């Protein structure tokens, strides 16, 4: 495929559907008028609630996935066992001790160790980046709590997440190396509401494991004002989070068997787990709903596509990617039959751009598929698809990928918060996502030729 780095002419490609097709038109119409995606999200979040890997909600979600796909008439529905990490939050609290007294709205980061005894209290040292932390000498960090104050800008692409989230993921070990006893971060989010944004973090081997928490943005801004005012600022943290032995969960799989080449697979992925604070309607209930509903719409057509459309509800995306890894391991021999893979994990915002990652000789088919989604307001960007977290383990196998990039303007307002509930889902936008997924799934699964593998040099992650 073309990997030109020149800016693509998005307006032109978005506005000129390459061709029309009665089945595509039918899928667009069905998604607009008969989509059950919103009801599927509601059903999942009402029945399973929050569903962090290893929790009772996680188990309930697996049962929901199996039952739902069976009820919809999908084939080969099964739960494929995955062993997942099992971390529990427990009670948690924080406060500013001096120079003034304030309660802090915070969440332990996923995987954080607890504070010991009655908690810890120490002076804060504020940095706005990993680089700023690196420049501090150990004497100014030792025994203190490092506060990462970096803020995330709002955008349609959500690209800033890539810049800021590493402080959440790796900041604790970086701070511990300098002698810090804990870290707090300004939540990686674009809202100004009093919801902390939790998220995954990892400890580096051989480095002391120190507690790590996220502050709600208004609380982080208060802390920043106090630090900038110049007096020493002391805060207290009490976290009682705990890691248990790995637990059993599952990837839930269901299929619409292809009419000609049933062993060739178009994979639609989303993740079934969520963080524990909210019910994960947006992250990633909507993704699960969109791919199930897309498969249902394909199944409702008078004719099946040539190849199989496989829905995979991955386990444990949030804090381990064990579902994706296990899928790749369990299906290694079948990887060469994976025609195309896509992931829906960016909320319910409308799809604005489509990109592919594949071999040069698939370009004509990719372009044809892009034309099919153009009437949905989706631009064809001729730059390589990035894939998502759950498609990472497919990359070494050269499985072609497609990105349906969604509008993330509001996504990071509720991402990883207690506020991720059904009330945040926009039905009409979600149904446009369903239309896009169904169209790409059908068109790829029905394409005449099997997609050649991604060239070796493009299999790494951007």
Q: Which residues have a catalytic role annotated? A: 317
- Whichever of 123 and 193 has its CB closer to a copy of itself, that residue is 193
- Whichever of 99 and 377 has its CB closer to a copy of itself, that residue is 99
217 lies in the binding site for a copy of itself (CB under 8 A): yes
Give Cα separations from 306 to 260, 335, 367 (angstroms).
Answer: 5, 18, 19
Buried b (16+ CB within 10 A) or exposed e, 126-160: bbebeeebeebeeeebeebbbbbbbbbeeeeebeb
357 lies in the binding site for a copy of itself (CB under 8 A): no
75: helix, strand or coil: strand
- Whichever of 70 and 192 has its CB closer to a copy of itself, that residue is 192
Q: What is d(CA 412, CA 197) in angstroms, rounded to the nearest whole number?
A: 9
**Which residue in 202, 220, 245 sits closest to 113, CA to CA?**
202
Q: Which of residues 269-298 bind a copy of itself (CB under 8 A)?
A: 278-279
101 lies in the binding site for a copy of itself (CB under 8 A): yes
- Whichever of 175 and 286 has its CB closer to a copy of itself, that residue is 286
Among 26, 32, 36, 42, contact with a copy of itself (rule: CB under 8 A):
42
Our CA angle for 120, 165, 428, nearest 5°, is 120
Stretch that binds a copy of itself, among 214-222, 309-317, 319-327, 359-367 (CB under 8 A): 214-222
328: helix, strand or coil: helix
Q: CB of 190: closest distance to a copy of itself in angstroms?
A: 12
13 lies in the binding site for a copy of itself (CB under 8 A): no
**Which residue in 334, 374, 370, 309 sits closest to 16, CA to CA?**
374
Q: CB of 220: closest distance to a copy of itself in angstroms?
A: 10
- Whichever of 66 and 175 has its CB closer to a copy of itself, that residue is 66
227 lies in the binding site for a copy of itself (CB under 8 A): no
Encoded one letter per residue, x for contact with a copy of itself by CB under 8 A and - for no contact, window 396-435 reads: ---------------------xxx-xxxx-----------
Among 80, 221, 246, 248, contact with a copy of itself (rule: CB under 8 A):
221
Residue that is written with structure tokens 């919809």 in the block: 72
265 lies in the binding site for a copy of itself (CB under 8 A): no
Q: What is d(CA 197, CA 186) in angstroms, rounded to the nearest whole number?
A: 9
Q: What is d(CA 218, CA 187) in angstroms, rounded to the nearest whole number?
A: 10
Q: What is d(CA 309, CA 438) in angstroms, rounded to the nearest whole number?
A: 10
Among 67, 102, 337, 459, contact with a copy of itself (rule: CB under 8 A):
102
Q: CB of 417: closest distance to a copy of itself in angstroms?
A: 8
Give Cα separations from 273 to 66, 287, 344 (angstroms).
Answer: 14, 11, 13
5 lies in the binding site for a copy of itself (CB under 8 A): no
Q: CB of 45: closest distance to a copy of itself in angstroms?
A: 8
**DSSP codes joined into one string, 375-443:** GGT-EEEEEE----GGGGGGGGGT--EEEEEE--TTHHHHTTSTT-SGGG--HHHHHHHHHHHHHHHHH
Stretch that binds a copy of itself, among 46-54, 71-79, 146-154, 295-303 (CB under 8 A): 46-54
Q: CB of 216: closest distance to a copy of itself in angstroms?
A: 9
Q: What is d(CA 95, CA 216) in angstroms, rounded to the nearest whole number?
A: 12
Q: CB of 8: closest distance to a copy of itself in angstroms?
A: 37
Among 16, 163, 194, 462, contact with a copy of itself (rule: CB under 8 A):
194
- Give me 361's structure tokens: 């000789």
Total residues contacting a copy of itself by CB under 8 A comes to 33
Q: Are 439 and 373 in contact (CB under 8 A)?
A: yes
- Give me 151's structure tokens: 């803020």
Stretch that binds a copy of itself, among 186-194, 322-330, 381-389, 427-435 (CB under 8 A): 186-194
Q: Residues interacting with a copy of itself, by CB under 8 A?
A: 42, 46-50, 56-57, 60, 100-103, 105, 192-195, 217-218, 221-222, 225-226, 278-279, 417-419, 421-424
């Amino acid at each position: 495929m073309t990997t030109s780095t020149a800016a693509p002419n998005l307006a032109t490609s978005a506005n000129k559907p390459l061709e029309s097709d009665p089945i595509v038109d039918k899928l667009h119409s069905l998604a607009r008028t008969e989509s059950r995606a919103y009801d599927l999200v509601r059903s999942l979040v009402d029945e399973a609630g929050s569903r962090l890997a290893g929790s009772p909600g996680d188990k309930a979600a697996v049962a929901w996935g199996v039952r739902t796909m069976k009820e919809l008439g999908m084939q080969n529905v099964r739960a494929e066992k995955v062993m997942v990490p099992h971390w529990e939050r427990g009670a948690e609290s924080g406060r500013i001790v001096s120079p003034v007294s304030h309660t802090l709205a915070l969440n332990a980061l996923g995987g954080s160790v607890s504070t010991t005894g009655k908690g810890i209290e120490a002076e804060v040292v504020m940095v706005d980046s990993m680089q700023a932390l690196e420049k501090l000498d150990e004497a100014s960090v030792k025994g203190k709590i490092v506060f990462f104050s970096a803020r995330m800008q709002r955008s349609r692409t959500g690209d800033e997440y890539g810049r800021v989230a590493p402080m959440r993921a790796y900041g604790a070990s970086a701070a511990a190396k300098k002698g810090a006893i804990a870290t707090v971060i300004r939540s990686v989010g674009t809202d100004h509401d009093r919801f902390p944004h939790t998220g995954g973090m990892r400890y580096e081997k051989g480095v002391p494991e120190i507690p790590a928490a996220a502050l709600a943005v208004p609380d982080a801004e208060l802390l920043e004002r106090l630090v900038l005012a110049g007096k020493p600022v002391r805060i207290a943290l009490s976290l009682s989070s705990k890691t248990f032995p790995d637990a059993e969960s599952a990837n839930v799989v269901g299929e619409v068997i292809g009419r000609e080449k049933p062993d060739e697979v178009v994979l639609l992925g989303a993740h079934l787990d969520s963080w524990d604070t909210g019910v994960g309607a947006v992250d990633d209930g909507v993704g699960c709903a969109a791919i199930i509903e897309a498969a249902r719409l394909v199944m409702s057509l008078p004719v099946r596509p040539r190849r199989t459309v496989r829905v995979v509800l991955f386990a444990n995306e949030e804090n381990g990617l064990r579902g994706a890894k296990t899928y790749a391991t369990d299906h290694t021999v079948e990887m060469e039959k994976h025609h195309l893979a896509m992931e829906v994990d960016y909320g319910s915002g409308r799809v604005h751009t489509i990109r592919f990652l594949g071999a040069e000789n698939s370009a004509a088919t990719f372009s044809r598929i892009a034309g099919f989604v153009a009437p949905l307001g989706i631009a064809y960007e001729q730059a390589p698809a990035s894939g998502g977290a759950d498609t990472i383990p497919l990359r070494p196998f050269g499985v072609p990928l497609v990105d349906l990039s969604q509008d993330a303007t509001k996504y990071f307002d509720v991402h990883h918060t207690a506020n991720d509930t059904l009330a945040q889902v926009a039905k009409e936008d979600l149904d446009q996502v369903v239309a896009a997924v169904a169209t790409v799934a059908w068109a790829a699964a029905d394409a005449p030729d099997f997609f050649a593998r991604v060239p070796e040099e493009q299999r790494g992650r951007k």
